[in-house]
Amino acid sequence: MIYAPSPSSVTGQFERERKNIIRRALSLGSLLGATLVPLFGLLDLVTKSHMIWTFISFRLAVTVVCIIVYFISKTTIGAKHAYPLSAIVTISICGSIALMCRLDQGPIDPYYAGINLPILAYAIMFPLNFRESISVFSIVWLTYLLPNLLILQPHEVQIFVSNNFFMIATIIISLLSCRFNFRYRKNQWNGHRRLESAHKKIQNHATELEKKVQERTQRLLQSERLAVVGQLAGGIAHDFNNILTAILGISELLLGTLDEEDPMREDIESISRVGNRAVNLVKQLLAFSRRQILVPKTLNLNEVIKDVEKMLQRLIGEDIELITITPPDLCNVKADPVQIEQIILNLAVNARDAMPDGGKLIIETANITLDKAYCKLGKVSISPGKYVMLATSDTGQGMSDEVKTKVFEPFFTTKENDKGTGLGLSTVYGIVKQSGGDILVYSEKGNGTTFKIYLPFVEGTVNKPLKSKKISQLPKGKETILLVEDEEEVRNLTARMLKKQGYKVLEANEGKSALSFSEQYEGTIDLLVTDVIMPNMNGKALADQLTARRTDIKVLFVSGHIDSMITHHGILKPGVEFLQKPYTVETLSNKIRSVFNN
């Protein structure tokens, strides 16, 4: 459980930080006073020569006070009593100037203007609350008002009033400056603490996820069935996908508002990186358990290999020669391009580790027809027909028959403890099987290893990937959307995303509330965006009832659950619009426009 500090605790922490700022300002302010007070004594030589020794004594006394306070500010006493000490310095300087005025020309003495300087400096340097600032400024004003009021002459009234008017104006400006300084410091401190808190929370979430994975893998090592892994993945995927939707979405919104040079950008990017790390862990679990929701597209394996070829060369190192054999007439397949890249990378890493002294890695594609006779041999578990083969061969150490029988088991590895997780090949196996294909391994000890993957051939043209856009470039709209989500953080974030893109958003936390809201709302609702799994009424039941009442409304389902649970509710049928969590502003915006355009 993550500890959330109470408001009183947060206020106390800010007060301690504010006292530290006041102490540092006190050191600087007293040092400036000890320097400038005697320096302004040069002015006395010109304008106050008839009272020079009196004025020198005043300046000497104030300078001594400033020096003493400066050294006290460096001690624990100064840290504890920074505000009273700062008030003493300011009142001493301003009071001495007021007394100088009284002793010479009284209310009309031009030296009164010097009182404004410490007041303004105090307001700018010290983050004071209203009570503190009004107390100091009132005392400063009275040190000028009362002594000079006692000796006020009739002909001096006009100048005395104008002097007080300007001094009061200075005090008002200083009070506003103090208020602004105080609030700015507090907002800056709160913002920094929120970033730190968010950073700690995402690190804790990632740590909790890693701990859960590590704890449960001990039990998985005793099991030979991938179904156990599927239960593990399904148990954490939904909750973490909701958490990660909020974390990554808020990070993306914040990054969209910051300049490239903003100092907070690095902290938010760090939060986003840790969040993506958690996303990859969830995806990896779901991949080898065959429970992730794939986004299949028509693609050509040759193009995928070309896209990752440079990365592969860096990954395997210069001592391994990379050879690609990609015939130009290769047929297309329907698969998730991201997962196909993952397959190639995992197989390349496995080959690299099998060739510590260097060697060759060959990646090959080909059009293959598997006839009934070959399929009956039992080497593959797919039907006869046309397939596209993706094969990787290395000249590494090879593997024994015993290792080959376990090579696709999760957490099985022949590598050292700190060099392998045992998830690489099981992930490949899960992706291939979920894509409707099969994978075979050929290897002998000392003679290298070959993996052959068979994916079903499909007709159609290749889907070109869309380039990522900035938030300001994403498609916008003015339609009205009814958003139904039982997770408050996810609902609030999604509403922010949609409103940022121009949509009018109506919110409900569960199905019955959404139906009641729809009955009371007289305007047009263009789209229902609803979570699938919710208490009392699931998203499918809500959509059925709402579309019966509003025949023109479109529906988009969202969920962080695994595909088997979504399929159970009939969501993944052709023609049904669905978006998997976690999603970003870009994926949500593009999906909604796609729903409207269709």
pLDDT, tens digit, 9 for 90 and up, residues 545-576: 999 999 899 999 888 765 545 554 555 566 68
C-alpha distances in angstroms, 198 versus 208, 313, 487? 15, 37, 18
Query: What's the structural domain count of the chain?
Result: 3
**Could you tell me if residue 441 is inside a domain?**
yes
Strands 449-458 and 332-335: antiparallel
Residue 476 in contact with residue 502, Cβ under 8 Å?
Answer: yes
According to the model, what pLDDT value does residue 389 have? 94
Q: Give the bridge partners for 457, in sequence order.
A: 333
Residue 408 in contact with residue 267, Cβ under 8 Å?
Answer: no
Residue 296 has pLDDT above 80, yes or no: no
Residue 206 in contact with residue 277, Cβ under 8 Å?
Answer: yes
Q: 391 or 466: whose pLDDT is higher? A: 391
**Could you tell me if residue 218 is inside a domain?**
no
Are 368 and 475 found together in one domain? Answer: no
According to the model, what pLDDT value does residue 584 have? 80
Q: Which amino acid, one-letter code, is at 492?
A: N
Are 526 and 425 found together in one domain? Answer: no
Range of the domain at 568: 471-597
Q: How far apart are the first and last CA of the chain?
A: 44
Alpha-carbon distance of 496 to 250, in angstroms, equals 9
Are 339 and 447 found together in one domain? Answer: yes
332-384 tens-digit pLDDT: 999 888 788 888 988 998 889 889 888 999 999 999 998 888 877 767 788 88
In the listed set 155, 189, 223, which residue is the last one of a domain according to the structure?
189
Alpha-carbon distance of 65 to 67, in angstroms, equals 6
**Could you tell me if residue 288 is inside a domain?**
no
Q: Which amino acid, one-letter code, is at 202?
A: I
Residue 6 has pLDDT above 70, yes or no: no
Question: What pTM did the predictor assign?
Answer: 0.41
Average pLDDT over residues 292-319: 82
Residue 564's domain is classified under what CATH number?
3.40.50.2300
Residue 222 has pLDDT above 80, yes or no: no
According to the model, what pLDDT value does residue 112 have? 67
Mean pLDDT of the chain: 79
Residue 235 has pLDDT above 70, yes or no: no
Are 475 and 433 found together in one domain? Answer: no
Are 345 and 442 found together in one domain? Answer: yes
Are 558 and 447 found together in one domain? Answer: no
According to the model, what pLDDT value does residue 218 have? 43
Q: What is the CA radius of gyration of the chain?
A: 36
According to the model, what pLDDT value does residue 465 have? 54
The proportion of the chain whose per-residue pLDDT surpasses 70, expressed as a percent, equals 81
Are 305 and 384 found together in one domain? Answer: yes
Average pLDDT over residues 303-312: 86
Q: Residue 5's closest CA among 138, 142, 190, 175? A: 190
Q: 592 or 78: whose pLDDT is higher? A: 592
Are 442 and 497 found together in one domain? Answer: no
In the listed set 458, 487, 508, which residue is the last one of a domain according to the structure?
458
Are 90 and 36 found together in one domain? Answer: yes
**Could you tell me if residue 377 is inside a domain?**
yes
Residue 490 has pLDDT above 90, yes or no: no
Residue 467 has pLDDT above 60, yes or no: no
Residue 213 has pLDDT above 50, yes or no: yes
Are 47 and 170 found together in one domain? Answer: yes
According to the model, what pLDDT value does residue 120 have? 78
Q: Give the bridge partners for 450, in sequence order.
A: 393, 442
Residue 416 in contact with residue 367, Cβ under 8 Å?
Answer: no
**Could you tell me if residue 416 is inside a domain?**
yes
According to the model, what pLDDT value does residue 176 have? 81
According to the model, what pLDDT value does residue 4 have? 43
In the listed set 189, 215, 238, which residue is the last one of a domain according to the structure?
189
According to the model, what pLDDT value does residue 295 have? 65
**Could you tell me if residue 295 is inside a domain?**
no
